[in-house]
């Protein structure tokens, strides 16, 4: 077939060589982070309800439901584990390569791909190295497609992690299942008709379900294709193809000849979050943390916190007074108040109990957001804001925020990655289990069968 976006993806899934060592090392960091988040997410109400539904089928299979000591069909495992990985909104964020794309609002690339790769890998008994290579392939496909699709895809209300993430999951699963070219074409076509997710569901249990459905749909599409199930063979392209129908067009130069050249894991990279909330809040929260620590402030010292930003930040983070812990993840008022009150904002802060506390309710009222047209004019390729803290004595402390810890500009240290993994995994594993799991994931290329690794992730 002639050159097309679909053909580019198919060729990369089927024919790409093993990624360079620096790409694989970076991928392992994201796998460590992603597995920790799957373990943490298993404690959430939305995942418990979803797992209950899956387990009502009373089916068995080769793939692990992490946090539930159960094994089910790969598509069901990917559904639950993918939802777990996104349940806390703590998973990594794809970064933009150009000013006309929206920084931090492309995809959460690891969760759909990793959930699909783990479930598929257990089914075929792959090695750790094969799992890693499939993850890199899926991550790359997801990120390049998200860059190439017209930004109107996101602006008009689609959640890219659910829509584009399904193609990353399909690519990873297809690689592990050893699909041939024609089968990958059909799998992509099936995926194109199943991928979905709308931003209206941000702040509800359905947002993380987008990532779970993406992971599950990718596996289902590959398993159907392996059985001879057919779909359009150029489904990403043309008038009725995915990129046009759901995205109003494609910037082909962002993907044609670009898959793996360079790998998105390295350039521009992806950010690993330090707070379990919307990525757009993180630079502002880091800047407030700097102010609070430098001045040794308490809530009583502060009269008002003003956050100046453009609509790219203020519209998604829209809950001024969140009604529950899910809405709190999309609330600048909650995130900034948590930093002021506790100098942290982790999984044990994003709870209904803390949200409803008197101190939190009082402190959130001190936070005011301001739509700043000058910041808006500067573009959306960075998460720009200005944090102003007015003290009771009249002084105003001010910092400009553009990036956060965990981004390529401020990469995490190994100790930071371990501490985040420990925070997340502690909901399922004890300290010794956490240390063993962490070290084994870091050495994933030496694992002969992925089942050896997944066995370390159950209590």
Domain around 324: 279-401
Report which secondary-structure segment, H or E, holds 359: helix 358-364
Average pLDDT over residues 71-76: 98
Residues 195 and 307 in one domain: no
Residues 111-147: tens digit of each pLDDT: 999 999 999 999 999 999 999 999 999 999 999 999 9
Lowest mean pLDDT segment, chosen from 337-346, 358-367, 407-416: 407-416
Q: Are 190 and 224 in contact (CB under 8 A)?
A: yes
Average pLDDT of the chain, as a whole number? 95
Residues 365 and 220 in one domain: no
Residues 289 and 270 in one domain: no
pTM assigned to the model: 0.91
Residues 204 and 317 in one domain: no
Residues 157 and 301 in one domain: no
Residues 378-397: tens digit of each pLDDT: 987 778 999 999 999 999 99
Residues 381 and 268 in one domain: no
Provide the domain count of the chain.
2
Three-state DSSP state, 16: coil
Residues 169-223: tens digit of each pLDDT: 999 999 999 999 999 999 999 999 999 999 999 889 999 999 999 999 999 999 9
User: Could you give the residue ranges of the DSSP H alpha helices within 2-109?
Assistant: 5-15, 21-41, 45-55, 74-87
Q: Is the pLDDT reported for residue 1 higher than 60?
A: no
* pLDDT of res. 56: 96
DSSP-assigned letter for residue 89:
S
**What is the rounded radius of gyration, in angstroms, for the C-alpha atoms of the chain?**
21
Does residue 406 form part of some domain? no
Residues 232 and 95 in one domain: yes
Contacts of 418 (CB under 8 A, 6+ apart): 438
Residues 268-305: tens digit of each pLDDT: 999 999 999 988 999 999 999 999 999 999 999 999 99
Residues 115 and 182 in one domain: yes
Residues 427 and 336 in one domain: no
Residues 72 and 201 in one domain: yes
Q: Is the pLDDT reported for residue 98 higher than 80?
A: no
pLDDT band of residue 2 (cuts 50, 70, 90) is low
């Amino acid at each position: 077939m002639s050159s097309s976006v679909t053909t580019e993806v198919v060729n990369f899934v089927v024919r790409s060589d093993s990624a360079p060592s620096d790409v694989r090392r970076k991928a392992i960091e994201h796998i460590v982070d992603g597995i920790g988040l799957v373990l943490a997410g298993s404690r959430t109400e939305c995942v418990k309800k979803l797992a209950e539904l899956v387990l009502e089928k009373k089916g068995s299979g080769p793939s692990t439901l992490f946090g539930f000591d159960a094994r089910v069909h790969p598509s069901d495992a990917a559904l639950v584990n993918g939802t777990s990985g996104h349940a806390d909104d703590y998973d990594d964020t794809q970064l933009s390569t150009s000013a006309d794309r929206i920084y931090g609002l492309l995809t959460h690339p690891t969760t759909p791909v990793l959930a699909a790769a783990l479930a598929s890998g257990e089914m075929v008994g792959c090695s750790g190295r094969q799992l890693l290579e499939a993850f890199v392939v899926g991550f790359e496909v997801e990120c390049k497609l998200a860059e190439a699709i017209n930004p109107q895809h996101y602006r008009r209300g689609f959640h890219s992690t659910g829509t584009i993430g399904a193609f990353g999951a399909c690519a990873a699963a297809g690689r592990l299942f050893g699909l041939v070219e024609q089968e990958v074409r059909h799998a992509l076509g099936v995926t194109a008709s199943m991928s979905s997710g709308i931003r209206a569901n941000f702040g509800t249990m359905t947002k993380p379900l987008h990532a779970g459905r993406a992971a599950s749909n990718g596996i289902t599409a590959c398993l159907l294709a392996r059985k001879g199930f057919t779909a359009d063979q150029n489904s990403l392209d043309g008038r009725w193809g995915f990129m046009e129908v759901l995205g109003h067009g494609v910037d082909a130069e962002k993907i044609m000849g670009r898959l793996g050249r360079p790998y998105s894991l390295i350039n521009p990279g992806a950010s690993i979050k330090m707070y379990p909330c919307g990525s757009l809040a993180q630079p502002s929260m880091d800047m407030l943390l700097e102010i609070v620590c430098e001045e040794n402030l308490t809530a009583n010292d502060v009269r008002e916190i003003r956050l100046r930003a453009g609509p790219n930040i203020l519209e998604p983070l829209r809950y001024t007074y969140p009604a529950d812990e899910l809405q709190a993840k999309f609330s600048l008022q909650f995130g900034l108040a948590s930093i002021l009150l506790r100098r942290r904002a982790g999984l044990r802060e994003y709870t209904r109990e803390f949200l409803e506390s008197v101190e939190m309710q009082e402190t959130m009222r001190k936070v005011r957001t301001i739509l700043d047209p000058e910041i808006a004019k500067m573009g959306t390729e960075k998460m720009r804001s200005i944090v102003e803290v007015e003290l009771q004595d009249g002084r105003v402390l001010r910092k400009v925020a553009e990036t956060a810890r965990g981004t390529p500009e401020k990469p995490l240290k190994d100790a930071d990655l371990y501490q985040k993994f420990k925070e997340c995994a502690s909901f399922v594993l004890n300290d010794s289990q956490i240390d063993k799991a962490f070290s084994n994931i870091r050495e994933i290329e030496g694992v002969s069968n992925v089942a050896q690794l997944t066995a370390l992730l159950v209590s």
